[in-house]
Structure 1
Amino acid sequence: MMMSNSLKKWLVGFSLLTGVTYTVIYACADDFWGYRYQSNFTPETYVDKSYTPLLFSDEMFYSIGHDTEYTSRFNNDIIQEWDGYLDGKIKKEDLTYLILKDSAKAELNNLYEAAFAKKSLKYADRKIALKDKKVKNFLEFMYYAKMIEEHATVAYHYWDYESRQVSYVAPEVIRDVENKFTKATDAFLKNRYWFQVMKAYFYSDSKQQAFVFFEKTKAQVPQNVLYYRALSYIAGVYYKDKDYVKANYLYSVVFDKCPQLRVVTAYNFHPQEQSDFDAALQLAKSNDEKAALWALLGYYADERKAIDAIYQLNPKSEHLEYLLTRLVNKEETELNGEEFKSVKEYKKVVKEKLNKESLALLNKIAGEEQTLKPYLWNIAAGYLNIFNGDYALAEKQFAKAESKAPKTELSAKQLRLLKLINTLSRQNAMNADAESKLLTDLNWLYHECPNSDYNEPFRYTKALDWSKKYIAALYKTQKNGVMAELFDRDNKYYLTGVNQEAMKTFLMRNQKSAWEELAVSVYSVTLSDIYEYQAVMSAYANKIERAIAFMEKSEKGKEVILEGNPFNGKIKDCNDCDHQAYQKVKYTKLSFLQKLKEMQDKVTKGEEVYSNSLLLANAFYNMTYYGNARSFYYSNIMDQGGNYIDEDYKPYLLNSALANSYYKKAFEAAANPEQKAKCVYMMAKCERNAFYTDNYHTNRYDYRQPEVHFLAWNGFKKLKAEYSNTQYYKEVINECGYFQKYLGMN
């Protein structure tokens, strides 16, 4: 297998931080939460927990980002082991404090001196039996272990790795601890002193002595976790000496034999060249050791080739399982990103993009049933066969897996989900037969799964979204716009009156089938939303009576309170100021429309034309994006709550023409220069809004727009030329910075 360029970049980049890196503190990013939105295959279902950080992820390690347990990984084990050794002679909570807490150093020293040097005891509250032999053994061990630990737990950040100050374990400390190991007769203590010697050499300036000591004594200790921790130190020394072949080989041995160190060894395993990996394979003493090397390389490089190699070496290797989940998760992430133009086109694209070599390998291994978990391979192969359009084979593989899969809730959910995806993928039309096959499982997916514990790893969200889009695509092909919209919201659906009425007719129908009820249950738009939308759009068309009729049928008409007084028209636009100002009358969407109608009727009758026209102009101005009553158009269907306005709604929400027409009407009815001046200025604001719309709302994120924020609006010219003697003119100068600039004022 040739090493890819991308792999070499990974290895070279990470080699800068590897080797002696057990106490690095990483600046971790937040946990990535997106897998459930792009994946249907939950790797945690069947893979041992020791592999969890090695599952497919956009970060270095799945779910944890970076390894942060360098100094705490074995804390629980250490406490348990010493608690068993001491047999209750020190309370477990006291033991935990003495072993783990930095603040216990002074107390430990005092206990040690009291036990061995007959110094006075300063910490008598714990009631520790200092004359007990095992207690004294513990205190003596901790005395040396803490000295070594000071050099092993120096925290530093990865960005100052090269410039950190290294503090080495003193030779006399190593000599004393090695002497303790040699003389120890208790197997428990001997094992732990042996590890402390290895640790001390590793954090000394005589690292090479670790080799000598290890080779001389390794036969005297059991091959337990301490043994493999020590072996990883040997690997680290080799790595620092740039003997990558031996380092990688030893890391792979630890990876294979010590699950607790899989994150550490995976991080430190980095062949620099293809020849490094090939040479490490030559060092391997068994097929299992070769499989471990491939398992680590597969993590960084090509899972398929690693799986193929391991399967030939040992089909029962546990390492195959985590590599399988990585392969499937990578593949599905690529394929699940495909959009729906039509079901036919979707199936064609995913089948073409599916890696046929991976599928063939999975089908082969699943069919031979030689692995530790044949059901897992059948599940994985079945899932990929869905993308390949081989639904019958997928069904057989799922059935075979179901008979042997573990009887856990997560396993049952995983199989049920994939079988549902297969059943739906077989449908090329929506009819009564398809509905009967899908109804129960879709109810489960849409309503039961979202109610499960969010922290549960089960990935169903992608299937939930995909299934709706798939069904909607079929309905679109069948020209059933209502059902397509129910399963997959289209932001443009309600732009046409025909669609509005079609959906209203459907939602108002009393008798609906179970399938139709399911569709309604997942639809986010209500009949009330549609009436509200029709009312708002009618208002922008200045069909106020029609708008009132619609709004009266919507619950939102009386629920939503406009935040500012929509009939106010001020020199300076300040929505927040208007929202905070006292309002004698607070308007709902409905009462606002009713007031508009009342004023329009008065204008029609010739009653108080100036004041009513001015108030109407203010209202239509404030209904736009530029005004204080944006909440009038905030709605579930329109969904224009931000600063960006969709193209479809710009003609309504960014348009001040209706307001301008009423300002003109008010100007024509004005009785004095003060009133006229106000109308002229307000029309200038409408001109300004049109300029903003044309220049700043054309492209959403185009900041290359002209830096001119105002022009010499016609309203500014007219105000200066004809109304400079009014009090309102002076007020405009005081409040409007643009007008001041127009006048050439600072």
Structure 2
Amino acid sequence: MTKRFLKRLGLGFSAGVLAAYGIIYACADGDWGLEYSSNFTPETYVDKSYSPLFLSGDTFYDIHYDDIHLTRFNDEILKDWKAYLGKKMDVKAVEYLLLNDTANTLINDLYLKKKNADQSPWFQAVNMKDKKVNSFVTFMYKAKKLEAFSTQTYNYWDYENFTRKQADPTIVQEFITDYDKISDKFLKNRYWFQVAKGYFYANDLEGLTAFINRTEAKTPKNSLYYRALAYQAGLYHVSGNYEMSNYLFARVFDQCPTLRVTATYNFKPQNDSDFFASINRAKDLEEKSALWAMQGYYGDLNKAISEIYKINPKSKHLDFLLTRLVNGEESVLAEIAFQDLESYKDSIQLKLDKNALALVKQIASENRTKQPYLWTLAAGYLSIFNKDYSYAAKAFAQVEKTSPKTHLAQNQIRLLKLYNSVSETTKMDKAAEGKLLEELNWLYNVCPKDTLVPEFRYEMASGWTKDVISRLYAKQGNIIMAELFKADPDFYYQNNQLESMKKFLSRTDKNSWEKLAEGVYETKLTDIYEFQAIFSAYKDDINQAIVYMDQAGENAQTELFGNPFNGKIKDCNDCDHEAPQKVKYSKLAFLKKMKEMKEHIANGKDVYANSLLLGNAYYNMSYFGNARVFYDSNSILNEYGNFIGDKNRSMLNGMSMVRKYYQHAFKAANNKEQKAKIAYLMAKCERNDFYTANYFTQPYRWYNQGDVDFIAWQGFQQLRDNYSDTKYYREVINECGYFRKYLGM
């Protein structure tokens, strides 16, 4: 029960109870995917005040960290003063004086000079002779003295080195004097809180404790009272008296939902003895339940739930702890690798916390909690992991009859029923398809558009059900349905599978189940044709590539960012993309232009220029060129970014087609300038092959290499030995640092 977790966060109370009344930050990864690892939405039945304490990958669920200490009670304060003043002061004036940092001068003016200010029309009607208005301004004038201490700023991460200025004890005495003489109950309560606040910022635990003890019997037990208890708890914390600190924070946790997060964060039993000492101080069952609830937040949930249930089965804290237990089980089980279905289910069952399951089922069966349907729902859900599908079905049927009919609750029950149905499915036949069709259509097509309950966690079930159904179909040999529910990145590299999918997607007589499967499948028929067009193009089968690209729909009209026929000394894709272009080529137009050039070569027309341009085209279609969009926008190929996968590396990094056309150009060259250019461009091909072999064979290998960026390419040697008298040679020297280095310049 030692609070290693809290120690690790470094609460820093030695700096003045920063966690209670400063900002709370802590290093955490954040909620980047709870909705993808959970089917159990805690908001369904649990009060909103607990939501930051739901299981989270961050410091606090949804809010990430607690940073509203200076504004937490603004709405309540404003509401209270508006009610007190009624129509005696404009509500905008009240809000300005209470909450605006620039109001000090005006408050001073109203209080000291007893006259109206003319800064705003709001204040022209202020009647300082009115007793309540005068009392309000007087209170604000005095309260501002403490704000200088309660609104100090500091480096949020530097807990231990922050030095807080302490309030002058004379300020506290002024408030005590006012408190003792005021008879107005509303004002008396406000001055009482200012005394407590003053003692806190004067770091006077003894004075605060004595004051609370003296006045407690006649002090209303409202939020001001529990804010004062939090101050007292904070000072006990600083003094090292965790027994009292934890006990008081438990009272705050129990009775003041607004401070529930702060109380939980600052709960810090050091060992069993001081925790049970706090338990012994509890005056009633609710206080004991609150202590166990906070202990369960950090520690043994099963133990905490059991203890609270024995103390008070109707405790409002039980339901919140149950959601943490269920979400915790989900997070543990989500780590199990998905192999074949049966071994996966066996692993889930083996790793499930059987004690937690037994506890939840027992409590559910006794029907004594505040929300018994929540416990029945949780028992049914956990039973799915135990492969007890019959129990789960009965539990969900019971919950449907007894649960509130909120939209979120109905969604939650429906989702878990579907999860159970898919879990017990062992074969995808017509019966199974008919049973699941309507529910899966809801999950896949309705839930993503449902804005009424944005917190509803359906994403995990969406992906999981597709995975299970795909595996069942694969086991049955139905490769098309298996692929539709979960895409295999290698599926289209087998031509028979590719053609089968084309045939399926082209059908117009699909039944409802097949339409559902097609709807969740991200790859469209046009993507497949584009995929085939890309492969045909890299094989130099431009005619076939055009045939396929013609059937690729809008994909064929995707524009290339740069001129794909450019071949420059220095590769700069961004420069090419930004350069003015007389002609913008779509993918289809690009292929048609390549076909035209090939025809010119075949007819012996301007062979050098057309071969050079085709070589540039294939260069720019590669990973190294300015036309990567030719391949990287295809969802099947799925090659984008700075690393090409093994199965496509030889095609997308390869220079064979580039060399083919550069060599054609070299043979057709009419002068040394043309040959010099080809020699250099061939050197770029050598360089790219070198990079591919040495740096791009596995992710991030680049960073493990030495300083060898280039070697003596054959193209460099030819350029130096045979074409040093050309203009192009001098251009290469000016633009290519590798070539200058090769020359020893």
- TM bin, normalised by shorter chain, reads over 0.9
Note the alpha carbon deviations across 1:558-593, whole angstroms, 9 max, x for none. Answer: 411222222222222222232233333332222222
Give how far 1:120 is off: 7.7
Cα separation, partners in 2 of 1:664 and 1:60, compared to 1, 3 Å: same
Displacement of 1:454: 8.5
- Bigger mean CA deviation after superposition, 499-508 or 54-63: 54-63
Q: 1:237 to 1:543 in 2, by over 3 A?
A: same
Secondary structure at the residue paired with 1:47? coil
Q: Distance in 1 between matches of 2:163 and 2:11?
A: 20
Counterpart amino acid of residue 104 in structure 1: A
Aligned partner letter, 1:637: I
3-state DSSP class of the match of 1:638?
A: coil
Structure 1 374/436 Cα, relative in aligned 2: closer, same or farther at 3 Å? same
Question: Where does residue 654 of structure 2 map in the other structure?
Answer: 655
Distance 1:183 1:707, change over 3 A: same
Aligned equivalents of 1:727, 1:176: Cα separation in 2: 92
SS of 2:142's partner is helix
AA aligned to 1:547 is A
SS at match of 2:157: helix
Cα 1:421–1:318, aligned 2, differ >3 Å: closer, same or farther? same
Q: Is the 8 A contact 2:106 2:117 kept in 1?
A: no
1:200-237 deviations in whole A, cap 9, x for unaligned? 11211533111111111111212222222222222122
* Greater CA drift, 509-518 or 715-724: 715-724
**Structure 2 residue 104 is the aligned partner of structure 1 residue 105:** yes
Corresponding pairs, count? 738
Selected match of 2:170 from 169, 172, 176:
172
Pick the aligned partner of 1:8 from 4, 13, 17: 4
Report matched runs for 1:85-164 at 5 Å: 85-115=84-114, 125=121, 126=123, 127-164=125-162
The letter for the 1-side match of 2:366 is E
CA contact (8 A) 2:533 2:546 kept: yes
**Letter of the structure 2 residue corresponding to residue 34 of structure 1:** G
Deviations 1:99-120 (A, max 9, x none): 11121111112212234xxx68
- Whether the 8 Å contact between 1:341 and 1:473 is mirrored in structure 2 is no
* Paired AA for residue 430 in structure 1: M
**1:248 alignment counterpart:** 246
Q: Which is further off, 733-742 or 571-580?
A: 571-580
Superposition map of 1:321-470 within 5 A: 321-453=319-451, 456-470=454-468
Aligned residues of 1:114 and 1:121 also touching (Cα < 8 A): no
Q: In the aligned structure 1, how far is the partner of 2:25 from the partner of 2:232?
A: 27
1:297 alignment counterpart: 295
The equivalent residue for 1:738 is 738
Inter-CA distance 565–392: structure 2 relative to 1 (3 Å threshold): same
Structure 1 575/163 Cα, relative in aligned 2: closer, same or farther at 3 Å?
closer
Deviations 1:488-546 (CA, angstroms, capped at 9, x unpaired):
11211111211110100001111001000001111111111111110110111122222
Residues 303 and 327, structure 1, Cα contact 8 Å, conserved in 2: yes
Quick one: which amino acid aligns to residue 492 of structure 2?
A: Y
Q: Secondary structure at the match of 1:545?
A: helix
Per-residue CA deviation, residues 28-56 of structure 1 (Å, 9 max, x unaligned), is 88963422122111111111111111111
**Contact kept? 2:683, 2:713, Cα under 8 Å:** yes
Give the deviation of 1:123 after TM superposition: 5.8
> What SS class does the counterpart of residue 10 from structure 2 fall into?
helix
Deviation at 1:353, TM superposition (A): 1.6
Distance 1:587 1:176, change over 3 A: closer
- Distance in 1 between residues matched to 2:207 and 2:564, nearest whole Å: 83
Give yes or no for contact 1:15–1:270 (8 Å, CA) kept in 2.
no
Q: How does 1:602-681 map to 2 (within 5 A)?
A: 602-634=600-632, 635-681=634-680
Check whether the contact 2:10–2:159 (CA below 8 A) recurs between aligned residues.
no
2:315 maps to: 317
- How far the C-alpha of 1:557 sits from its partner, in A, is 5.8
Choose 715-724 or 604-613, whichever is displaced more. Answer: 604-613
1:306-350 CA-to-partner distances (Å, cap 9, x unmatched) read 111111111111101111111111111222344432222221221
Structure 1 residues 42 and 567: alpha-carbon distance in aligned structure 2, compared to 1, 3 A threshold: same
Q: For 1:258 and 1:595, how far apart are their aligned partners in 2?
A: 74
> What's the CA shift for 1:174?
1.9
**What's 2:62 paired with?**
63
CA contact (8 A) 1:23 1:155 kept: no
* Deviation for aligned residue 1:376: 0.4
- Whether contact under 8 Å (2:25, 2:66) holds in the other structure is no
Residue of structure 2 equivalent to 1:688: 687
Q: Letter of the 2:146 partner, please give it.
A: I
- Provide the aligned C-alpha RMSD in A: 2.0
- The equivalent residue for 2:528 is 530
CA contact (8 A) 2:116 2:127 kept: no
Instruction: Output the amino acid matched with 1:114.
Output: K
Q: Which residue of 1 aligns with 2:53?
A: 54
Per the alignment, residue 709 of structure 1 pairs with 709
1:682-740 Cα distance to aligned partner (Å, 9 max, x none) = 11111111001011111211211232111101111122112222222222222221111
**CA positional deviation for 1:130:** 1.3
Gaps of 5+ in 1: none
Task: State whether residues 30 and 57 of structure 2, in contact with CA within 8 Å, keep that contact through their aligned partners in structure 1.
Answer: no
Change (3 A) 1:120 1:735: closer
TM-score by length of 1: 0.95
Amino acid at match of 1:281: I
| CA shift for structure 1 position 402 | 1.5
User: Deviation digits for residues 413-438 of structure 1, max 9, x if unmatched?
Assistant: 11111111111111111111111111
TM-score for both structures, normalised by structure 2: 0.95
2 CA distance for matches of 1:129 and 1:685? 85
- 1: CA distance, partners of 2:251 / 2:555: 70
Q: Supply the distance in 2 between the matched residues of 1:659 and 1:122 (Cα, whole angstroms).
A: 80
Whether the aligned pair in 2 keeps the contact of 1:609 and 1:669 (CA below 8 Å) is: yes
Equivalent in the alignment of 2:226: 228
**Superposed CA offset, 1:442-490 (max 9, x none):** 1111111111229721111111111111111111111111111111112
AA paired with 2:682? M
Corresponding residue of 2:599 = 601
3-state SS, counterpart of residue 174 of structure 2: helix
Note the C-alpha offset of 1:26.
4.4
CA gap of 1:674–1:209, structure 2 versus 1, over 3 A, is same
Q: Would the alpha carbon gap of residues 194 and 693 (structure 1) be closer, same or farther in structure 2, given more than 3 Å must change?
A: same
Structure 2 residue runs without a partner (length 5+): none
Q: What percent of counterpart residues are identical?
A: 49
| Residue identity matched to 1:107 | L
Cα distance in structure 2, aligned partners of 1:708 and 1:61: 49
Give matches, 1:10-25, under 5 Å: 10-11=6-7, 13-17=9-13, 20-21=17-18, 22-25=20-23
**Structure 2 counterpart SS, 1:155:** coil
| Structure-to-structure mapping, 1:540-559, within 5 angstroms | 540-556=538-554, 558-559=556-557
Amino acid at match of 1:724: S
The amino acid that maps onto 1:58 is G
Range 474-483 or range 131-140, more displaced: 131-140
2:482 is the alignment partner of 1:515: no
Q: Is the 8 A contact 1:31 1:63 kept in 2?
A: no
Q: Is the 8 A contact 1:557 1:588 kept in 2?
A: no
